[in-house]
Protein backbone atom coordinates (compact mmCIF):
# COMPACT_ATOMS: atom_id res chain seq x y z
CA UNK A 1 0.00 0.00 0.00
CA UNK A 2 2.88 2.38 0.70
CA UNK A 3 4.10 1.88 -2.89
CA UNK A 4 0.83 3.37 -4.11
CA UNK A 5 1.41 6.42 -1.92
CA UNK A 6 4.97 6.78 -3.19
CA UNK A 7 3.63 6.76 -6.75
CA UNK A 8 1.01 9.40 -5.85
CA UNK A 9 3.65 11.58 -4.20
CA UNK A 10 5.97 11.27 -7.21
CA UNK A 11 3.14 12.22 -9.58
CA UNK A 12 2.29 15.29 -7.47
CA UNK A 13 5.89 16.47 -7.61
CA UNK A 14 5.89 16.07 -11.40
CA UNK A 15 2.63 18.01 -11.76
CA UNK A 16 3.90 20.79 -9.51
CA UNK A 17 6.61 21.66 -12.06
CA UNK A 18 3.90 22.79 -14.47
CA UNK A 19 2.50 25.34 -12.06
CA UNK A 20 5.27 26.44 -9.71
CA UNK A 21 5.89 29.69 -11.59
CA UNK A 22 2.23 30.51 -12.28
CA UNK A 23 0.43 33.10 -10.13
CA UNK A 24 -3.10 32.53 -8.85
CA UNK A 25 -4.19 35.67 -10.67
CA UNK A 26 -3.15 34.05 -13.95
CA UNK A 27 -5.33 31.02 -13.20
CA UNK A 28 -8.33 33.22 -12.51
CA UNK A 29 -11.04 32.67 -15.10
CA UNK A 30 -14.47 34.15 -14.53
CA UNK A 31 -16.11 31.35 -16.50
CA UNK A 32 -14.69 28.69 -14.17
CA UNK A 33 -15.57 30.29 -10.83
CA UNK A 34 -18.83 28.37 -10.45
CA UNK A 35 -17.07 25.09 -11.27
CA UNK A 36 -14.89 25.48 -8.19
CA UNK A 37 -17.76 25.98 -5.76
CA UNK A 38 -19.56 23.14 -4.00
CA UNK A 39 -23.02 24.05 -2.75
CA UNK A 40 -24.82 22.52 0.21
CA UNK A 41 -27.95 23.63 2.04
CA UNK A 42 -25.88 24.67 5.06
CA UNK A 43 -22.54 25.70 3.55
CA UNK A 44 -20.91 26.73 0.29
CA UNK A 45 -17.28 25.78 -0.29
CA UNK A 46 -15.27 27.82 -2.80
CA UNK A 47 -11.77 26.86 -3.91
CA UNK A 48 -11.42 29.11 -6.95
CA UNK A 49 -8.45 30.89 -5.34
CA UNK A 50 -6.26 27.79 -5.14
CA UNK A 51 -3.01 27.49 -7.09
CA UNK A 52 -4.15 24.57 -9.14
CA UNK A 53 -5.11 23.79 -12.73
CA UNK A 54 -7.94 21.68 -14.09
CA UNK A 55 -5.66 18.87 -15.24
CA UNK A 56 -4.10 18.70 -11.75
CA UNK A 57 -7.58 18.55 -10.23
CA UNK A 58 -8.46 15.72 -12.60
CA UNK A 59 -5.55 13.73 -11.21
CA UNK A 60 -6.31 14.58 -7.58
CA UNK A 61 -9.82 13.21 -7.97
CA UNK A 62 -8.33 9.82 -8.94
CA UNK A 63 -6.48 9.51 -5.62
CA UNK A 64 -9.45 8.49 -3.40
CA UNK A 65 -10.10 5.42 -5.54
CA UNK A 66 -6.41 4.51 -5.54
CA UNK A 67 -6.46 4.25 -1.73
CA UNK A 68 -9.94 2.61 -1.54
CA UNK A 69 -11.40 5.58 0.34
CA UNK A 70 -15.01 4.40 -0.04
CA UNK A 71 -14.21 1.29 1.99
CA UNK A 72 -12.50 3.37 4.69
CA UNK A 73 -15.46 5.76 4.92
CA UNK A 74 -17.90 2.85 5.16
CA UNK A 75 -15.92 1.42 8.08
CA UNK A 76 -15.81 4.85 9.75
CA UNK A 77 -19.60 5.25 9.59
CA UNK A 78 -20.34 1.62 10.45
CA UNK A 79 -18.26 1.73 13.61
CA UNK A 80 -15.96 -1.03 12.35
CA UNK A 81 -12.91 1.16 11.70
CA UNK A 82 -10.03 0.36 14.06
CA UNK A 83 -7.33 2.51 15.59
CA UNK A 84 -4.61 -0.12 15.04
CA UNK A 85 -1.86 1.13 17.35
CA UNK A 86 -4.21 1.15 20.35
CA UNK A 87 -6.42 -1.75 19.17
CA UNK A 88 -9.64 0.23 19.62
CA UNK A 89 -12.63 0.86 17.39
CA UNK A 90 -13.34 4.42 16.32
CA UNK A 91 -16.76 5.60 17.46
CA UNK A 92 -17.15 9.37 17.16
CA UNK A 93 -19.46 9.30 14.12
CA UNK A 94 -21.81 6.93 15.99
CA UNK A 95 -22.32 9.56 18.69
CA UNK A 96 -24.44 11.58 16.27
CA UNK A 97 -26.10 8.56 14.65
CA UNK A 98 -29.77 8.23 15.63
CA UNK A 99 -29.41 4.45 15.72
CA UNK A 100 -25.81 3.50 16.52
CA UNK A 101 -24.68 -0.09 16.06
CA UNK A 102 -25.78 -2.69 18.58
CA UNK A 103 -22.45 -2.84 20.39
CA UNK A 104 -22.56 0.93 21.00
CA UNK A 105 -25.74 1.10 23.07
CA UNK A 106 -23.96 3.12 25.75
CA UNK A 107 -24.32 6.07 23.41
CA UNK A 108 -28.12 5.85 23.55
CA UNK A 109 -28.30 5.49 27.33
CA UNK A 110 -25.91 8.38 27.89
CA UNK A 111 -27.82 10.56 25.43
CA UNK A 112 -30.93 9.97 27.53
CA UNK A 113 -28.94 10.88 30.64
CA UNK A 114 -27.96 14.18 29.01
CA UNK A 115 -31.63 14.78 28.23
CA UNK A 116 -32.65 14.13 31.84
CA UNK A 117 -29.93 16.43 33.18
CA UNK A 118 -30.84 19.35 30.93
CA UNK A 119 -34.53 19.16 31.69
CA UNK A 120 -33.99 19.50 35.44
CA UNK A 121 -35.73 22.67 36.57
CA UNK A 122 -33.62 23.29 39.65
CA UNK A 123 -30.15 23.37 38.05
CA UNK A 124 -30.41 26.88 36.64
CA UNK A 125 -32.16 28.24 39.71
CA UNK A 126 -29.87 26.59 42.25
CA UNK A 127 -26.46 27.33 40.72
CA UNK A 128 -24.94 30.54 39.40
CA UNK A 129 -21.57 29.15 38.30
CA UNK A 130 -20.37 26.07 36.48
CA UNK A 131 -16.65 25.28 36.59
CA UNK A 132 -15.60 22.76 33.94
CA UNK A 133 -12.20 21.15 34.42
CA UNK A 134 -11.07 19.89 31.03
CA UNK A 135 -8.12 20.06 28.66
CA UNK A 136 -7.31 19.48 24.99
CA UNK A 137 -10.31 18.50 22.88
CA UNK A 138 -12.38 18.00 26.01
CA UNK A 139 -12.01 21.73 26.69
CA UNK A 140 -11.70 23.30 23.24
CA UNK A 141 -14.95 21.78 21.96
CA UNK A 142 -17.25 22.80 24.83
CA UNK A 143 -15.56 26.19 25.12
CA UNK A 144 -16.16 26.81 21.43
CA UNK A 145 -19.82 25.88 21.91
CA UNK A 146 -20.17 28.20 24.91
CA UNK A 147 -18.82 31.10 22.88
CA UNK A 148 -21.00 30.19 19.92
CA UNK A 149 -24.15 30.05 22.06
CA UNK A 150 -23.09 33.33 23.74
CA UNK A 151 -25.86 32.90 26.25
CA UNK A 152 -26.57 35.42 28.96
CA UNK A 153 -28.32 32.67 30.91
CA UNK A 154 -28.42 32.32 34.67
CA UNK A 155 -25.32 30.12 34.93
CA UNK A 156 -21.82 31.50 34.28
CA UNK A 157 -19.60 28.89 32.61
CA UNK A 158 -15.85 28.76 33.25
CA UNK A 159 -13.28 26.39 31.75
CA UNK A 160 -10.06 25.70 33.68
CA UNK A 161 -7.00 23.54 33.08
CA UNK A 162 -3.88 25.55 33.94
CA UNK A 163 -1.32 23.52 35.88
CA UNK A 164 -0.30 26.52 38.00
CA UNK A 165 -3.93 26.86 39.25
CA UNK A 166 -3.94 30.61 38.50
CA UNK A 167 -6.81 30.23 36.05
CA UNK A 168 -8.93 28.35 38.57
CA UNK A 169 -8.10 30.72 41.44
CA UNK A 170 -9.11 33.69 39.30
CA UNK A 171 -12.47 32.04 38.71
CA UNK A 172 -13.05 31.06 42.34
CA UNK A 173 -12.57 34.64 43.55
CA UNK A 174 -16.01 35.39 42.12
CA UNK A 175 -17.71 32.17 43.20
CA UNK A 176 -19.34 30.85 46.36
CA UNK A 177 -19.39 27.15 47.15
CA UNK A 178 -23.15 26.77 47.48
CA UNK A 179 -23.70 28.42 44.08
CA UNK A 180 -21.05 26.46 42.17
CA UNK A 181 -21.41 23.30 40.09
CA UNK A 182 -18.31 21.36 38.98
CA UNK A 183 -17.77 19.14 35.94
CA UNK A 184 -14.54 17.16 35.67
CA UNK A 185 -14.06 15.92 32.10
CA UNK A 186 -11.29 13.44 31.39
CA UNK A 187 -11.56 10.30 29.30
CA UNK A 188 -9.01 8.45 31.43
CA UNK A 189 -9.69 10.40 34.63
CA UNK A 190 -5.94 10.20 35.14
CA UNK A 191 -4.95 13.45 33.41
CA UNK A 192 -2.60 15.25 35.79
CA UNK A 193 -3.84 18.74 34.97
CA UNK A 194 -7.46 17.79 35.66
CA UNK A 195 -6.71 15.93 38.90
CA UNK A 196 -4.57 18.76 40.24
CA UNK A 197 -7.34 21.30 39.60
CA UNK A 198 -9.96 18.92 40.96
CA UNK A 199 -8.09 18.38 44.22
CA UNK A 200 -7.71 22.12 44.58
CA UNK A 201 -11.44 22.57 44.06
CA UNK A 202 -12.17 19.89 46.62
CA UNK A 203 -10.07 21.78 49.19
CA UNK A 204 -11.91 24.99 48.33
CA UNK A 205 -15.29 23.35 48.90
CA UNK A 206 -14.10 21.93 52.21
CA UNK A 207 -13.59 25.48 53.45
CA UNK A 208 -17.36 25.55 53.87
CA UNK A 209 -18.30 22.65 56.19
CA UNK A 210 -22.00 23.05 55.38
CA UNK A 211 -21.40 22.00 51.77
CA UNK A 212 -21.04 18.41 50.56
CA UNK A 213 -18.73 18.54 47.54
CA UNK A 214 -20.20 15.31 46.16
CA UNK A 215 -23.55 17.04 45.65
CA UNK A 216 -21.89 19.61 43.43
CA UNK A 217 -19.56 17.34 41.46
CA UNK A 218 -20.18 15.61 38.11
CA UNK A 219 -17.73 13.51 36.14
CA UNK A 220 -17.44 12.74 32.41
CA UNK A 221 -15.08 9.86 31.65
CA UNK A 222 -14.61 6.38 30.23
CA UNK A 223 -13.17 5.32 33.59
CA UNK A 224 -16.06 4.73 35.99
CA UNK A 225 -13.77 3.09 38.55
CA UNK A 226 -11.60 6.22 38.80
CA UNK A 227 -14.69 8.42 39.20
CA UNK A 228 -15.91 6.10 41.95
CA UNK A 229 -12.54 6.34 43.69
CA UNK A 230 -12.73 10.11 43.69
CA UNK A 231 -16.16 9.99 45.29
CA UNK A 232 -18.30 11.01 42.34
CA UNK A 233 -21.78 9.62 42.79
CA UNK A 234 -22.84 7.09 40.17
CA UNK A 235 -25.88 9.25 39.41
CA UNK A 236 -23.51 12.13 38.63
CA UNK A 237 -21.33 10.16 36.24
CA UNK A 238 -21.52 10.42 32.45
CA UNK A 239 -19.75 7.53 30.74
CA UNK A 240 -17.81 7.67 27.48
CA UNK A 241 -16.81 4.82 25.24
CA UNK A 242 -13.10 4.06 25.46
CA UNK A 243 -13.07 4.23 21.67
CA UNK A 244 -13.99 7.94 21.65
CA UNK A 245 -10.99 10.22 21.14
CA UNK A 246 -10.93 13.48 23.08
CA UNK A 247 -10.48 15.62 19.96
CA UNK A 248 -13.59 14.02 18.44
CA UNK A 249 -15.68 14.05 21.62
CA UNK A 250 -17.77 17.21 21.17
CA UNK A 251 -20.76 15.05 20.14
CA UNK A 252 -20.85 13.30 23.52
CA UNK A 253 -21.57 14.37 27.10
CA UNK A 254 -18.22 16.21 26.97
CA UNK A 255 -20.16 19.15 25.52
CA UNK A 256 -22.86 19.02 28.23
CA UNK A 257 -21.51 21.98 30.27
CA UNK A 258 -21.91 24.25 27.24
CA UNK A 259 -25.65 23.53 27.13
CA UNK A 260 -26.36 24.29 30.80
CA UNK A 261 -28.27 27.44 29.80
CA UNK A 262 -29.85 25.79 26.79
CA UNK A 263 -31.88 22.64 26.22
CA UNK A 264 -31.65 19.14 24.81
CA UNK A 265 -33.09 20.15 21.43
CA UNK A 266 -30.12 22.51 20.94
CA UNK A 267 -27.76 19.62 21.57
CA UNK A 268 -29.68 17.53 19.02
CA UNK A 269 -29.40 20.36 16.47
CA UNK A 270 -25.61 20.13 16.74
CA UNK A 271 -25.76 16.36 16.17
CA UNK A 272 -28.14 16.75 13.23
CA UNK A 273 -25.74 19.07 11.46
CA UNK A 274 -22.95 16.54 11.90
CA UNK A 275 -25.19 13.76 10.58
CA UNK A 276 -25.80 15.80 7.43
CA UNK A 277 -22.03 16.16 6.99
CA UNK A 278 -21.68 12.38 7.42
CA UNK A 279 -24.24 11.74 4.69
CA UNK A 280 -22.62 14.26 2.37
CA UNK A 281 -19.16 12.76 2.88
CA UNK A 282 -20.37 9.19 2.47
CA UNK A 283 -22.47 9.73 -0.65
CA UNK A 284 -21.23 12.73 -2.68
CA UNK A 285 -19.00 12.15 -5.68
CA UNK A 286 -15.36 13.02 -5.14
CA UNK A 287 -15.71 16.09 -7.36
CA UNK A 288 -18.53 17.50 -5.20
CA UNK A 289 -17.40 16.18 -1.82
CA UNK A 290 -16.32 19.06 0.42
CA UNK A 291 -14.02 17.24 2.89
CA UNK A 292 -12.49 15.18 0.09
CA UNK A 293 -11.61 18.32 -1.87
CA UNK A 294 -10.28 20.00 1.29
CA UNK A 295 -8.06 17.00 2.03
CA UNK A 296 -6.78 16.75 -1.54
CA UNK A 297 -5.97 20.47 -1.61
CA UNK A 298 -4.13 20.14 1.69
CA UNK A 299 -2.03 17.28 0.29
CA UNK A 300 -1.36 19.27 -2.88
CA UNK A 301 -0.40 22.50 -1.10
CA UNK A 302 1.81 20.74 1.44
CA UNK A 303 3.56 18.03 -0.53
CA UNK A 304 3.53 19.47 -4.07
CA UNK A 305 3.81 23.23 -3.44
CA UNK A 306 5.88 22.74 -0.25
CA UNK A 307 3.68 25.06 1.83
CA UNK A 308 4.23 23.95 5.42
CA UNK A 309 1.60 26.07 7.19
CA UNK A 310 -2.13 26.63 6.91
CA UNK A 311 -3.99 29.67 8.26
CA UNK A 312 -7.64 29.42 9.31
CA UNK A 313 -9.40 32.76 9.76
CA UNK A 314 -12.94 33.17 11.03
CA UNK A 315 -15.04 36.24 10.32
CA UNK A 316 -17.71 36.04 12.96
CA UNK A 317 -17.11 36.77 16.64
CA UNK A 318 -19.06 33.70 17.75
CA UNK A 319 -16.53 31.56 15.84
CA UNK A 320 -13.47 33.27 17.34
CA UNK A 321 -12.08 30.07 18.94
CA UNK A 322 -12.75 27.77 15.99
CA UNK A 323 -9.16 27.87 14.74
CA UNK A 324 -7.83 26.55 18.06
CA UNK A 325 -10.32 23.69 17.93
CA UNK A 326 -9.44 22.73 14.34
CA UNK A 327 -5.70 23.12 14.97
CA UNK A 328 -5.76 20.72 17.91
CA UNK A 329 -7.85 18.17 16.04
CA UNK A 330 -5.71 18.41 12.89
CA UNK A 331 -2.23 18.43 14.35
CA UNK A 332 -2.83 15.86 17.09
CA UNK A 333 -4.35 13.58 14.45
CA UNK A 334 -1.98 14.05 11.52
CA UNK A 335 1.13 15.48 13.16
CA UNK A 336 3.08 12.27 12.70
CA UNK A 337 5.08 10.63 9.94
CA UNK A 338 5.23 6.87 10.60
CA UNK A 339 2.30 4.47 10.67
CA UNK A 340 1.62 1.47 12.92
CA UNK A 341 3.46 -0.81 10.48
CA UNK A 342 6.59 1.39 10.80
CA UNK A 343 6.20 2.74 7.29
CA UNK A 344 7.36 6.31 6.71
CA UNK A 345 4.81 8.41 4.83
CA UNK A 346 6.33 9.71 1.57
CA UNK A 347 4.33 12.92 1.95
CA UNK A 348 4.89 15.95 4.11
CA UNK A 349 2.23 15.38 6.73
CA UNK A 350 0.13 17.90 8.70
CA UNK A 351 1.09 21.51 8.14
CA UNK A 352 1.24 23.90 11.07
CA UNK A 353 -2.32 25.12 11.64
CA UNK A 354 -2.53 28.71 12.86
CA UNK A 355 -4.75 31.77 12.52
CA UNK A 356 -7.69 32.98 14.57
CA UNK A 357 -10.40 35.61 14.52
CA UNK A 358 -9.87 37.34 11.18
CA UNK A 359 -10.60 40.92 12.21
CA UNK A 360 -7.91 40.75 14.89
CA UNK A 361 -5.48 38.82 12.67
CA UNK A 362 -5.62 41.58 10.06
CA UNK A 363 -3.95 43.91 12.55
CA UNK A 364 -1.25 41.45 13.62
CA UNK A 365 -0.23 38.41 11.59
CA UNK A 366 -1.60 39.56 8.22
CA UNK A 367 1.40 41.85 7.65
CA UNK A 368 3.62 38.74 7.67
CA UNK A 369 1.05 36.90 5.54
CA UNK A 370 0.91 39.70 2.96
CA UNK A 371 4.58 40.63 2.59
CA UNK A 372 6.64 37.94 4.29
CA UNK A 373 8.72 35.42 2.36
CA UNK A 374 6.85 32.34 3.57
CA UNK A 375 3.87 31.06 1.59
CA UNK A 376 0.67 30.07 3.37
CA UNK A 377 -2.49 28.24 2.38
CA UNK A 378 -5.66 29.55 4.00
CA UNK A 379 -9.26 28.79 4.89
CA UNK A 380 -11.53 31.79 5.38
CA UNK A 381 -14.71 30.97 7.28
CA UNK A 382 -17.61 33.40 7.31
CA UNK A 383 -21.36 33.75 7.54
CA UNK A 384 -23.32 35.06 4.56
CA UNK A 385 -26.86 34.97 5.88
CA UNK A 386 -28.03 38.31 4.52
CA UNK A 387 -28.55 39.58 8.05
CA UNK A 388 -27.21 43.03 8.84
CA UNK A 389 -24.85 41.84 11.58
CA UNK A 390 -23.00 39.48 9.21
CA UNK A 391 -22.73 41.60 6.04
CA UNK A 392 -19.83 43.88 7.02
CA UNK A 393 -17.67 41.02 8.31
CA UNK A 394 -18.36 38.92 5.23
CA UNK A 395 -17.42 41.78 2.92
CA UNK A 396 -14.21 42.15 4.92
CA UNK A 397 -13.53 38.43 4.46
CA UNK A 398 -13.85 38.67 0.68
CA UNK A 399 -11.53 41.67 0.49
CA UNK A 400 -8.84 39.87 2.49
CA UNK A 401 -9.12 36.76 0.32
CA UNK A 402 -8.38 38.91 -2.74
CA UNK A 403 -5.41 40.58 -1.04
CA UNK A 404 -3.91 37.29 0.15
CA UNK A 405 -4.46 35.35 -3.09
CA UNK A 406 -4.16 37.96 -5.86
CA UNK A 407 -2.00 40.59 -4.17
CA UNK A 408 -1.11 43.85 -5.87
CA UNK A 409 2.12 45.00 -7.48
CA UNK A 410 3.37 48.55 -7.00
CA UNK A 411 6.18 49.13 -9.51
CA UNK A 412 6.90 52.66 -8.30
CA UNK A 413 7.03 51.66 -4.64
CA UNK A 414 8.09 48.01 -4.42
CA UNK A 415 7.98 48.15 -0.62
CA UNK A 416 4.21 48.51 -0.96
CA UNK A 417 3.84 45.46 -3.20
CA UNK A 418 1.88 42.48 -1.90
CA UNK A 419 2.91 39.29 -3.69
CA UNK A 420 -0.31 37.33 -3.12
CA UNK A 421 -0.26 33.80 -4.54
CA UNK A 422 -1.33 32.22 -1.25
CA UNK A 423 -3.91 29.49 -2.00
CA UNK A 424 -7.26 30.25 -0.33
CA UNK A 425 -10.58 28.50 0.18
CA UNK A 426 -13.80 30.03 1.51
CA UNK A 427 -16.27 28.17 3.72
CA UNK A 428 -19.45 30.20 3.67
CA UNK A 429 -22.07 29.32 6.27
CA UNK A 430 -25.58 30.29 5.22
CA UNK A 431 -26.83 30.62 8.77
CA UNK A 432 -25.30 30.97 12.21
CA UNK A 433 -27.05 28.14 14.03
CA UNK A 434 -26.04 24.93 15.79
CA UNK A 435 -26.98 22.72 12.86
CA UNK A 436 -24.63 24.68 10.60
CA UNK A 437 -21.87 24.57 13.23
CA UNK A 438 -22.27 20.81 13.60
CA UNK A 439 -22.00 20.43 9.84
CA UNK A 440 -18.85 22.58 9.69
CA UNK A 441 -17.08 20.77 12.55
CA UNK A 442 -17.86 17.33 11.12
CA UNK A 443 -16.63 18.44 7.68
CA UNK A 444 -13.27 19.30 9.23
CA UNK A 445 -13.23 15.96 11.08
CA UNK A 446 -13.72 14.12 7.80
CA UNK A 447 -11.13 16.26 6.06
CA UNK A 448 -8.61 15.20 8.73
CA UNK A 449 -9.53 11.52 8.39
CA UNK A 450 -9.40 11.56 4.57
CA UNK A 451 -6.07 13.37 4.64
CA UNK A 452 -4.68 10.74 7.03
CA UNK A 453 -5.95 7.99 4.74
CA UNK A 454 -4.00 9.48 1.85
CA UNK A 455 -0.90 10.10 3.99
CA UNK A 456 -1.02 6.52 5.27
CA UNK A 457 -0.97 7.37 8.99
CA UNK A 458 -3.25 6.66 11.95
CA UNK A 459 -5.13 9.85 12.93
CA UNK A 460 -6.52 8.35 16.14
CA UNK A 461 -3.40 7.88 18.28
CA UNK A 462 -1.02 10.45 19.76
CA UNK A 463 2.18 8.78 20.89
CA UNK A 464 4.14 12.02 20.84
CA UNK A 465 1.79 13.45 23.46
CA UNK A 466 2.21 10.27 25.51
CA UNK A 467 5.97 10.76 25.74
CA UNK A 468 5.48 14.23 27.18
CA UNK A 469 3.06 12.83 29.77
CA UNK A 470 5.47 10.04 30.70
CA UNK A 471 8.39 12.42 31.23
CA UNK A 472 6.20 14.76 33.28
CA UNK A 473 5.40 11.87 35.63
CA UNK A 474 9.09 11.01 35.92
CA UNK A 475 9.97 14.60 36.79
CA UNK A 476 7.19 14.70 39.35
CA UNK A 477 8.47 11.58 41.11
CA UNK A 478 12.19 12.21 40.71
CA UNK A 479 13.74 15.53 39.73
CA UNK A 480 17.28 14.23 40.07
CA UNK A 481 17.52 12.91 36.52
CA UNK A 482 16.96 16.47 35.21
CA UNK A 483 20.50 17.31 36.32
CA UNK A 484 21.83 15.20 33.46
CA UNK A 485 20.07 17.42 30.91
CA UNK A 486 19.83 20.97 32.30
CA UNK A 487 22.18 23.41 33.98
CA UNK A 488 21.60 24.14 37.67
CA UNK A 489 20.12 27.58 36.98
CA UNK A 490 17.25 25.95 35.08
CA UNK A 491 16.37 23.32 37.68
CA UNK A 492 13.17 23.76 39.72
CA UNK A 493 13.70 25.79 42.87
CA UNK A 494 12.58 24.04 46.01
Where in the sequence numbering do the catalytic residues fall? 332, 363, 469
Q: Contact, 305 vs 20, CB < 8 A?
A: yes
Nearest residue to 449 (alpha-carbon basis) of 11, 61, 92, 59: 92
Who's near 212: CB < 8 A, 6+ residues apart? Answer: none
What does DSSP say about strands 43-49 and 37-39: parallel, antiparallel, or unpaired?
Answer: antiparallel
Q: Contact, 438 vs 274, CB < 8 A?
A: yes
> How big is the CA angle at 369 (ends 368 and 373), to the nearest 5 degrees?
70
What does DSSP say about strands 424-429 and 43-49: parallel, antiparallel, or unpaired?
Answer: antiparallel
Answer positive or negative: Cα dihedral of 57, 59, 65, 67: negative
Q: Contact, 186 vs 221, CB < 8 A?
A: yes
* Spatial distance between the Cα atoms of 212 and 236, rounded to a whole number of angstroms: 14
Q: In a 3-state reduction of DSSP, which class is residue 379?
A: strand
Who's near 7: CB < 8 A, 6+ residues apart? Answer: none
- Judge residue 255's burial from the number of C-beta atoms within 10 Å of its C-beta, 0-12 exposed, 13-18 middle, 19 or more buried: buried
Q: In a 3-state reduction of DSSP, which class is residue 343?
A: coil
* 219-244 exposure pattern, b = at least 16 Cβ within 10 A, e = fewer: bbbbbeebbeebebeeebbbbbbebb
- Judge residue 262's burial from the number of C-beta atoms within 10 Å of its C-beta, 0-12 exposed, 13-18 middle, 19 or more buried: middle
User: What is the DSSP secondary-structure string of 197-248?
Assistant: HHHHHHHHHHTSTT--GGGTEEEEES-HHHHHHHT--GGGEEE--TT--GGG
- Judge residue 272's burial from the number of C-beta atoms within 10 Å of its C-beta, 0-12 exposed, 13-18 middle, 19 or more buried: middle
Amino acid sequence: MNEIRKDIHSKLLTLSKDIKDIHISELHNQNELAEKTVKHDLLDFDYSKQRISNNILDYLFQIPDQINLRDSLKALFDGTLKNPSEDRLVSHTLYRDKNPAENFQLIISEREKIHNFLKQKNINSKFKNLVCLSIGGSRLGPELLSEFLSSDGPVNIFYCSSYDLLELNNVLRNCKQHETLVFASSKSFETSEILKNLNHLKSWFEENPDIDFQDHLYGISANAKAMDSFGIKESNQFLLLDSLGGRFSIWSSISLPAFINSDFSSYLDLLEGAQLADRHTNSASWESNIPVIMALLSIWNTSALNINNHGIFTYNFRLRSLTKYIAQMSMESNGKSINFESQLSPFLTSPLIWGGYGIESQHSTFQWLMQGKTETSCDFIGVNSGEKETIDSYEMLLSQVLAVSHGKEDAENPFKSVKGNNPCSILNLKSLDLKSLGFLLAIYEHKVFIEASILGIDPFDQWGVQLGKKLALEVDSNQEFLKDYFSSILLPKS
